[in-house]
Amino acid sequence: MQVRDDRGRKLGSALYSSASQIAVRLVSKEEVSEAALPEVIGQRINAAVQFRQQSVRDSDSYRVIFSESDLLSGLIVDKYNDVLSMQVLTQAWDRDDLRDIVLASLAEHFPDASLAERVDPHIRELEQLPARESQILRVPHSSRPLSAREWDKTIFTMNDVRFHFDGLAGQKTGAFLDQRENYAAAARYAHGRALDVFTYQGGFALHLARVCDAVTGVDSSRAALEVAEQNEQLNRDQHHSGEIEWIEANAFDLLKDYATAGREYDTIVLDPPAFAKTRRAVATALRGYKELNLRALKMLPPGGILVSCSCSFHVNEGEFLAMLGSAAADAGRRVRILEKRGAAIDHPVLLNVPETAYLKCIICRLLT
């Protein structure tokens, strides 16, 4: 559709949703006809793929298309080794003609990869789209006698650490590729006994196990921990510390109990889910972040490392750092920031679209 302001001046061309809070998503500041749309989308996908192929050096897996950041608002595509995982977030990308353009372009760029579509029922409900199951959309030509279900599974690598991937299970599109570079950064500073809280499928824990004497991974999801244990087996030959201890527990309760009991860890990672889904939830989210970080700081000795993360866009970096400073003051700790980090390079930030700068990762050292 063509977009004009209230004076009738042309603003460009956009994709429209009749249900979304964001009704209009700009495609181009120029007029783009329906006939020209396939070429524009193909060019955008080509540019996105080339950028990742030029910039990602530490993994066979990365985000191929990052919605607004690649000027393809509402479309997410991740690559996990030889499996692509696609997620549609708006009405427009559910149109048959636009889906066909995306599928054809991805098949051209990744001819040997299968393609799974991850469906979020809540998003489809909000967009007033018909219900759909997660599914395999494409398999490459191959003589291997595999069933359709097996085409969504693979083993992928980040920073020489291997992970199981199931394209039709787990959170988001299956893993947290945005933390890939932060996993490696945390391992550069980690030492001694390490605690990874909200470990999910072991992303931080498995990286820490290569350098730490002992590692404990904590999550409230038994299903996630079962995958983490399988991932541990894939990387057993790289472990510095032997087995990782996996604990199913509520993070708030566990940290409170551990801090009260006087437990100490040399390295603690906090990587919780988004606490603030809306701006109204920020105050509550900050209280939650502070409680976690306060407990963790009390458990760290001088020289200890804290890796504290937030993926809540509505909590900005300034607010997150202020929270961390308040937690340090209440814990009676002096803290030096070693690194302020964001998402990996395959999740680029688009200037003037602050939602693309959602991830905060602060690496700190406690001073003597």
Catalytic residue numbers read 311
Alpha helices in 36-111 (DSSP H): 37-55, 96-109
Count of beta carbons in the 10 Å neighbourhood of residue 262:
8
Q: Of the candidates 165, 82, 75, 167, which has an alpha carbon nearest to the alpha carbon of residue 127? A: 75
Go through the chain and tell me how many residues it has.
368
Name residues whose C-beta falls within 8 Å of residue 349's C-beta, 6 or more positions apart in sequence. Answer: 69, 342, 343, 356, 357
Query: What is the chain's Cα-based Rg?
Result: 22
* Euclidean distance between CA atoms 34 and 249, whole angstroms: 52
Looking up tokens 């700068």, which residue turns up? 357
Query: Which three-class secondary structure state does DSSP give residue 86?
Result: strand
Query: Are residues 47 and 54 in contact, defined by beta-carbon separation less than 8 angstroms?
Result: no
Tell me, rounded to whole angstroms, the distance of Cα 80 from its chain centroid. Answer: 13
Please give the Cα distance from 293 to 327 (Å, whole number).
6
Give the long-range contacts of residues 96-102, CB within 8 A, separation 24 or more: 97/38, 98/37, 98/41, 101/37, 101/38, 101/41, 101/42, 102/41, 102/45, 102/75, 102/77
Could you give the CA distance from residue 70 to residue 44 in angstroms, rounded to a whole number? 7
Cα–Cα dist 202/248, whole Å? 12
Q: What residues have CB less than 8 Å from 34, skipping those under 6 apart? A: none
Beta-strand relationship, 360-366 and 305-310: antiparallel
β-strand partners of 16: 24
